[in-house]
Chain A
Amino acid sequence: MSDKKLLSETSEWTFDLIKRYEAEIARVAADFGLDTYPNQIEIISSEQMMDAYSSVGLPVGYHHWSFGKQFLATQKSYQRGQSGLAYEIVINSNPCIAYLMEENTMMMQALVVAHASYGHNSFFKGNYLFRAWTSADAIIDYLLFAKNYIASCEERYGEEAVELFLDSCHALANYGVDRYKRPASLSMQREQARQKEREEYLQFQVNDLWRTLPERQTQAGSREEERFPPEPQENLLYFIEKNAPLLAPWQREVVRIVRKINQYFYPQRQTQVMNEGWATFWHYTILNRLYDEGLVNDGFMLEFLQAHTNVLYQPPYYKKYYSGINPYALGFAMMSDIRRICEQPTAEDREWFPDLAGSDWLKALDFAMRNFKDESFIAQYLSPKVIRDLKLFAVLDDDSHSQLEISAIHDDRGYRAIRQALADAYNLGNREPNIQVYRVDRRGDRSLTLRHTMHSRRPLDHSADEVMKHVARLWGFTVRLETVHEDGGVELSHECVVEK
């Protein structure tokens, strides 16, 4: 190992050095078979990083007070030193944009390049959810379209009207995703071209819906009214966009924008552990390879390991600053564990993962990355060893018992229960209350009824009252929320009456 091969010896970065590191990292990544979008790496200052933060990482965003709130919160905690900024932000687009902060050291820049531009990037390109749900080629264009469209609405209808309307859309943002259909791909030109047409057409459609009512009433006298919608609808925003009677065309378009942007984030919300675990695993593997090849020195490696372990720290539950499971720690542990099972399987591994043990680790990891989301990934791959290493235990919190019960710990009897409980915890379907559009009263007061189907008797938080006001603002008529208990009983739990 000769010193001549070293890429750099100081911690100062230069554009030239970043390029050289990037080239080496690209070579190693290709060696491991990582398939990525082209990279676009941007150097930004810490202020710009805070800007990027407050717009949920998106490079262009429409204006809204909530982003200002986010910005102030980030700025405050950063300026007081309560929290550092993330070292990087990466955007699922083609080319894949990654931000490097200028304050970072050379080591950190290399780490970020490996983590974001090769780790996250290959995940965005390979994982089935991202492939099915997002259009990396079109997202930046669409965001630009959204920003301009909302700005033009503000000019025409006033900032306040648009802001209030956006508030309402944001309140339902999580209920604006399609879970089973692939959305049409987004592109600015096409959106703009179709948007006018859609405005007119939609308005026509909606009015028609109500106009046909009197006819129906005269038909054959059958009192049996068809329920509308015939099937419950889980995409509330979509339903509102298409069916709310009073919305102006621009309002429908705004609903659509919020819906589309949230749809774009939907895969990220479902693959946090995997995505971070994958990226962390690869920056660790790639930088270690650089070290083995003599391209970086001991100092670089020590600094790297410190940053790496900081990211991976998992405080135990009894520590003051414990705030749930660290997705980096869990993801990295599981990814590394898959490699271990392939390379050095124990008897236990052979019993638990007969197909995995002894197979080619690169292929096994690639398969895991492409075909799972957090929930199924944990259900499939969480091994007893990881459970033991993290000392995981499950707690049953049932409000019908006076005490909490430790339902499983890291022992033979508990492994499967813990694995199931953890997988459930990452199931968005369990995490978010199941609320669907149930009925529109087309003959009477035009009210909208939503149904919350309870899961494990878990009730809605009191914030639901506030959300219902937003729903009412969108719908324009009275809205109700019915709660369906596990025994099938239905009860009206929330109501927001709109006086006409």
Chain B
Amino acid sequence: MTQLIDRRLSGKNKSAVNRQRFLRRFKGQIRKAVSDAVSGRSISDVENGEKVSIPARDMSEPIFHHGPGGSRQIVHPGNTDFVAGDTVDRPRGAEGQGGKAGNDGEGMDDFVFELSKEEFLQFFFEDLALPNLVKTQLTAVPEYKSVRAGYSSDGNPANIHVVRSLKGALGRRLVLASPCRTRLREAEEELEALRGRTEEDDPGVRALLDEIRQLREKIEAIPFIDTFDLKYSNRIPQPRPTSQAVMFCLMDVSGSMDEEKKNVAKRFFILLYLFLTRSYERIEVVFIRHHTIAKEVDENDFFTSRESGGTVVSSALDLMLEIIRERYPTSLWNIYAAQASDGDNWDDDSPLCRDLLAGSIMPLVQYYAYIEIAPDPAQNLWREYEQVAQAFGHFAMQRIEDVKDIYPVFRELFGKQAA
């Protein structure tokens, strides 16, 4: 009469659809929260989930219910010293509901929940207008390459190795048949010998004929191919060769770079970082900020501090070159560089930058991406860099006004990966 059923193994994500519906409905608010979160996070920390809070009033499901006011009686437990007829002040904060903790006064706290890592990246990418292929690349877990590794005796039919299987079958047939064949040869010889001496219906001859027939049947009964013979090509997953990379973030922090521009730059750096995490096992990030002189700083200083004064871009390139020489030999490290600036530079310095890049830096790095965050027409640095871009395929540059414009800088980089 009573049934006991184990349901633990049946699907547990029944609510996944409802969760997706929820996220879709509150896309706007969530996107804003993600965007805020990105500004507040460290570059190497974008890959975690995020706590998102949405004002409760935005997501209420209204129903008709009583509001404060009117007259009502409420029964509470735990009376200590009241007697009938006592009067007390209305407790504050309960909207004059009278209840010491209003029964139906629902809290108006923010609704807080966690976005998973995938969901977080989804929202992050949405902002950047990445092509889908790139999105899947970035969200994918590190991939394994399937390589051949000998043969195995089980596998799926598509992987049957015909030559190997038939070889096995041949060997098996030889081995199984060999005692019979030996005996058959002997028997035939004996028969030959007997026939010379005796009558055709001699019992010895007949016995031998019988035996020969049986042996032939036995040999024929050995199957041509048996499941036992089947061999399959064996494939094992081999992790893609990974190695280490260093990423240089170069940013102009002169007075003209305001908070907003820095935020755009941050996304630019994050995107490169995310790309690198897919391809390399170990990544180091070096932050170099510069105005007239360059300095290596930690991430916090990199994004927050602000200096005034002029701009000498070459100082940062010099420092980068120095750091590469000291700490990141190209034999051990893949070097990537991302530079963000508003395009300001001392006129005399720009040709110097071009020479530095073309002469020393470009041969050392895998990819150099430059973004100029400025609405105004291009200045001398841009023009000089254009020459570099013509000479080197792995130099990318882009003028951007909005985070949407960032992706094209990396188009080639991701395109190469996708190929």
A48-B8 contact in complex given A65-B22, A397-B71, C-beta closer than 8 Å: yes
Residues in A with CB closer than 8 Å to B84 are 406-409, 411, 413-414
**Bound: A52/B29 CA distance, A:** 27
Residues in B with CB closer than 8 Å to A171 are 61-63
Residue of A nearest to B86 (CB): A406
Residues in A with CB closer than 8 Å to B113 are 72-73, 75-76
Residues in B with CB closer than 8 Å to A18 are 4
**Bound: A26/B2 CA distance, A:** 9
**Bound: A275/B197 CA distance, A:** 106
Interchain CB contact under 8 A, A51 and B2: no
Interchain CB contact under 8 A, A68 and B22: yes
Residues in B with CB closer than 8 Å to A54 are 15, 18
Give the secondary structure class of B's interface.
loop
Which of A223-231, A354-362, A460-468 lies at the interface with chain B?
A: A460-468
**Bound: A401/B87 CA distance, A:** 10
Residues in B with CB closer than 8 Å to A278 are none
Interchain CB contact under 8 A, A457 and B101: no
Which of A187-195, A210-218, A291-299, A320-328 lies at the interface with chain B?
A: A320-328
For the A-B complex, the count of residue pairs with Cβ-Cβ distances under 8 Å equals 277
Minimum CB–CB distance for A96 against chain B, Å: 10
Interchain CB contact under 8 A, A391 and B77: yes
Minimum CB–CB distance for B288 against chain A, Å: 41
**Bound: A393/B82 CA distance, A:** 8
Interchain CB contact under 8 A, B64 and A403: no
**Bound: A323/B97 CA distance, A:** 13
List B1-60 residues whose CB lies under 8 Å from chain A: 1-8, 10, 12-15, 17-25, 59-60
**Bound: A63/B101 CA distance, A:** 34
Residues in B with CB closer than 8 Å to A418 are 75
A44-B7 contact in complex given A39-B2, A458-B66, C-beta closer than 8 Å: yes
Minimum CB–CB distance for A480 against chain B, Å: 14
Residues in B with CB closer than 8 Å to A403 are 87-90
Partner of A461 from the list B10, B14, B18, B66 (CB cut-off 8 Å) is: B66
For the complex of A and B, the 3 pairs showing the least CB-CB separation, nearest first, are: A316-B78, A397-B98, A68-B22
Minimum CB–CB distance for B301 against chain A, Å: 34
Residue of B nearest to A464 (CB): B64
Residues in A with CB closer than 8 Å to B225 are none
12 A-B contact pairs sorted by A residue (CB < 8 Å): A40-B2, A40-B5, A48-B8, A76-B112, A76-B113, A315-B78, A325-B77, A394-B75, A400-B71, A409-B79, A456-B71, A466-B60
Residues in A with CB closer than 8 Å to B24 are 65
Residues in A with CB closer than 8 Å to B20 are 68
Residue of A nearest to B5 (CB): A42
**Bound: A435/B22 CA distance, A:** 30
Interchain CB contact under 8 A, A397 and B73: yes
A456-B70 contact in complex given A405-B87, A432-B65, C-beta closer than 8 Å: yes
**Bound: A244/B155 CA distance, A:** 63
Residue of B nearest to A400 (CB): B71
